[in-house]
Amino acid sequence: MEPQVATAVARQEMENTQAERGLEGVRELLDRELNAWQTMSINIALIGLTGSGKSSLINALLGLNANDVGAAAIGCYECTTEAQRFRHPINNQLVYTDLPGVGSSMFPKNSYLGQIEADKYDFFLLVTMNRFTETDAWLAKELTKIEKKFFLVRTHIDNDVENDRRARANLHNEDELLAGIRARTETQLRELWTTFPTDMQVVFLIDSLVTDKYDFHDLEIQIAENLPELKREALFLLMRTTNRKIIDLKEKYLRERIWKAAALSGGIAVTPIPGVSFAADVFILILESQFYFQQLGLDSESLRRSAQGRGLGVSRLERKVELAFGVPVESLTPTMFAKFLLALGISLAAFSVESAAEEAASLIPVIGIVVAGSMSYLTTRWLLGKILDRMYFVAKDVYDEVFQG
């Protein structure tokens, strides 16, 4: 079992399930674990003054444009007097909440955390477009006291860069400017907050309309890294592939679920791949292939958004993906699967039962020798690994064309 997935608790749970309910019970458990990320409730709160850029940041984190259904309204300068919740378009378990600011007559400091029900949020973003205030520092200290994690986010950084470019012309140096803004911001916060942490990044400089620059993707990744394990996986799987590191992290999580998907095909009725003599469950292979495809940003909607965001023609990206896979993966059927494998350059002749069986040996105490030793498990696991290898390669190639070309 992969070390990042096979916790002692999960191992014991599978052993207990097999003892009590047999392989069918283990199959149901694995099926639940494969989809557990979709049921994880994640609540992230944003606090800041009206006009600080919270709405644009929420839309950027949700992967939405301002005119998309479910997007936060931009340019609405009325003060927030009640929590406004915005759900992720794919999974409504992920919620970003725009909270009223602290310090008004309606939300005084002494009752603020209770009024906003701070305990129900997983993470906080304290947002400003200029400088952090004494109130921000007070809130940071109070959140620390109740062991709530947070970051401080300074928005509209592209405006600072453009203003400096116009003012300094040939003397403009973006890296020096950003380093100066960061240093001044952290110095200011240390003056207000004597226990300002020095062992991790807590200040992020972003522009929500230019998400491929500055600290936006670092902010996304660090929010996820500071969540519990299952919520971390869920947040990474909901991120768009607009950053190479996010593609790498998605590949890691997708690879960690391969053994579970393969185990579902072991010890149960197998639906073989048409035209192929090897035993494997073609429906599991198709569902997982389509999941990898969408997760790595290769589906038509992801390609459209990527092209639109960079002013490119989507047809060029669609042709690249079509040539790479030979068949329309989003509508892949069992009769197409052998052609799909051929297009990926996956040769079943290279499949080694001995090496695959050796890899499976560590799983036997957990999912049982019948499953781990079955041809269906071995073949399905091997094929899924090869399919993910190829999709990961193509996803990086598409990313390079869109964002580096």
Mean pLDDT for the stretch of residues 273-302? 81
Q: Which of 60-74, 77-91, 196-210, 352-366 has the lowest mean pLDDT?
A: 352-366
Residue 357 has pLDDT above 60, yes or no: no
Residue 392 has pLDDT above 90, yes or no: yes
Q: What pLDDT sits at residue 6?
A: 41
**Distance separating alpha carbons of residues 329 and 320, to the nearest angstrom:** 13
- Pick left, alpha or beta for residue 176 (phi over 0 → left; psi -120 to 50 → alpha; otherwise beta): alpha
Q: What pLDDT sits at residue 81?
A: 73
Mean pLDDT for the stretch of residues 345-358? 61
Residues contacting residue 79 through CB under 8 Å, at least 6 positions apart:
50, 100, 101, 104
Q: Mean pLDDT, the chain, as a whole number? A: 83
Which structure tokens are listed for 30? 């694995």
**Alpha-carbon radius of gyration of the chain:** 24
**Distance separating alpha carbons of residues 162 and 107, to the nearest angstrom:** 36
Q: How confident is the model at residue 353 (pLDDT cuts 50, 70, 90)?
A: low
**Distance separating alpha carbons of residues 190 and 123, to the nearest angstrom:** 22
Q: Convert the pLDDT of each residue in 84-99 to its tens digit.
A: 999 999 899 999 999 9
Domains defined for the chain, CATH in brackets: 8-34+244-404 (no CATH), 39-238 (3.40.50.300)
Q: Convert the pLDDT of each residue in 97-142 to its tens digit.
A: 999 888 788 889 999 999 999 999 999 999 998 888 889 989 999 9
Q: What pLDDT sits at residue 362?
A: 53
Sequential DSSP letters for 179-238 = HHHHHHHHHHHHHH-TT--SSS--EEE--TT-TTSTTHHHHHHHHHHTS-HHHHHHHHHH
Q: What pLDDT sits at residue 3?
A: 35
Mean pLDDT for the stretch of residues 294-319? 90
| C-alpha 162 chain-centroid distance | 30
Q: What pLDDT sits at residue 197?
A: 80
pTM: 0.82
**Distance separating alpha carbons of residues 176 and 148, to the nearest angstrom:** 33
* 8 A C-beta contact, residue 23 and residue 372: no
| C-alpha 14 chain-centroid distance | 27
Q: How confident is the model at residue 303 (pLDDT cuts 50, 70, 90)?
A: very high
Residues contacting residue 251 through CB under 8 Å, at least 6 positions apart:
296, 388, 392, 395
Q: What pLDDT sits at residue 305?
A: 86
Edge-to-edge strand ranges of the sheet holding 42-48 = 84-87, 94-99, 42-48, 123-128, 150-154, 203-205
**Distance separating alpha carbons of residues 266 and 18, to the nearest angstrom:** 14
Q: What pLDDT sits at residue 318?
A: 93
**Distance separating alpha carbons of residues 177 and 220, to the nearest angstrom:** 23
Per DSSP, the three-state class of 64 is coil
**Distance separating alpha carbons of residues 241 and 294, to the nearest angstrom:** 10
Q: What pLDDT sits at residue 369?
A: 45
